[in-house]
Structure 1
């Protein structure tokens, strides 16, 4: 299918939840080179409502939407995303995916293989990777090298504050490891190299997880991940220490997720037009899934359950 009609790539949205409503639909509507063709959701009434508010069409059949577009953006739970992404890739549609790619390695591998076999472009929306300050910092630190150790803290208050995502069933089931763990890995891997092994993983309060990673570049890193942090303690920080001294991930302007998703849309367009894979493609996201699955295996059963700390 030709990616150009009326000057833009035709794209559809799969999903109607809070993330689709707050981020994907506004970004797809605003993007100057994306033609927002329509919305499909597992709840047809929600799809109709979202489509009406953004001046587009609701589809009751996902295959009908796939027939009308060049690409799809997915804002659905990971297990649903994996199935739909394979379906869309096999139909020859480019993919703007969300993190995590999947919470099951086999499902994630199926997506990556479908993308490769179909020759379609894929970009996974690791939000922080599409912020200019983060992109520049990662490039500088990767070029500098010589890192000895790192720590990454991604502390959210999804279950302890007033987050619109607090009722998300998959977050309740999988917790911080799978929700914010991908963000931390998306920053560390391009700087420190691939993870050779997850050396240790243990649980903290609520759904908090601590993990120690051994990187191919010789450095080690420690992750602290939580969705049950006290609201006053929430935030993200990454610190590197090595031969060059100490480097800290700069804080980004509080612009929200929509501008970052607009840049992810730019990245998908570039990958589709040039055929060059984006650094945050499905293959990279599969590797993130594999690392998180290894950490999950070390943690064993129990948790997260969505139970806030101290409750």
Structure 2
């Protein structure tokens, strides 16, 4: 599988490019970016072609990996899918439900495979833990915390315009949901949303399996308070999400392998664009509650 990279930002440099270049069953074919000089620099680093025209890169490959802001990703994913290219995407899938649905419909219509890179889901320890807890069942409640200090440190993502606009709900909220949904079931209702300091938000979710979960999300936590974790409580007792040993590069390489398998077999991966669309719907419902456009949370999340 020949794969091209769209994007030259921190995540593309830190994770995508090294994972694609080091993958033994993929051919890293080239890089396109919105800044041609950055694309040339990244391409030169890995000895691949820098493309000035995104459609030229798409025409030369079997698949694209996209490391761009969600609004740009959604547009380019639709174009790539319509050209018959498989999709390795990042979270969140899109900034709105309508644009996320456009991606899933384009992929479905073209018959191309899609995998969305929820980092935790492609780490071996997390994957095994999720499978074990989903099989155990009987969960009563769950608590997830994703607390970062992105804008208060020298984080490479501190200057990210979309993160400053959308905040923790859309940046780390997908990570929490990607772990909770396969264990507790889909979200029937966003029962409550509260706004905390700066971009901090708290959600209470009602799941199909009967459990409830609470999420605390922030990109502006104090340095001493940052960290992430998931705790489940139920008939099996109490269990916590293990700390993975793998790096994001390792996880992204596994996501690329998953895309290759899905393209070869025609069997959708659990973290495909349709799953990412469902995550987008839940985030959009929470955002509407935060913005006051929906005055009570008694209705079901869109599905």
Cross-structure match for 1:26: 18
Is 2:29 the counterpart of 1:37? yes
CA–CA distance in structure 2, aligned partners of residues 82 and 67 of structure 1: 18
Q: Secondary structure at the match of 2:151?
A: coil
Cross-structure match for 2:162: 170
Is 2:130 the counterpart of 1:130? no
Q: Secondary structure at the match of 2:221?
A: coil
CA–CA distance in structure 2, aligned partners of residues 36 and 251 of structure 1: 30
Shift of 1:173: 0.3
Q: Secondary structure at the match of 1:159?
A: helix
Cross-structure match for 1:279: 270
Cross-structure match for 1:229: 221
Shift of 1:256: 2.4
CA–CA distance in structure 1, aligned partners of residues 158 and 262 of structure 2: 34
Cross-structure match for 1:12: 4
Shift of 1:197: 1.0
TM (norm. structure 1) is 0.93
Structure 1 unmatched ranges of 5 or more: 1-8, 302-311
Shift of 1:258: 0.4
- Pairing 1:3-152 to 2, within 5 Å after superposition: 9-152=1-144
CA–CA distance in structure 2, aligned partners of residues 127 and 240 of structure 1: 20
Cross-structure match for 2:252: 261
Is 2:279 the counterpart of 1:288? yes
CA–CA distance in structure 1, aligned partners of residues 75 and 87 of structure 2: 13
Name the count of aligned residue pairs: 292
TM (norm. structure 2) is 0.95
CA–CA distance in structure 2, aligned partners of residues 233 and 29 of structure 1: 35
2:291 to 257, 277, 300: 300
CA–CA distance in structure 2, aligned partners of residues 103 and 217 of structure 1: 28
Shift of 1:251: 1.1
Q: Secondary structure at the match of 2:141?
A: strand
Shift of 1:186: 0.1
Q: Secondary structure at the match of 1:134?
A: helix
Q: Secondary structure at the match of 2:150?
A: coil
Structure 1 vs Structure 2 CA RMSD: 0.8
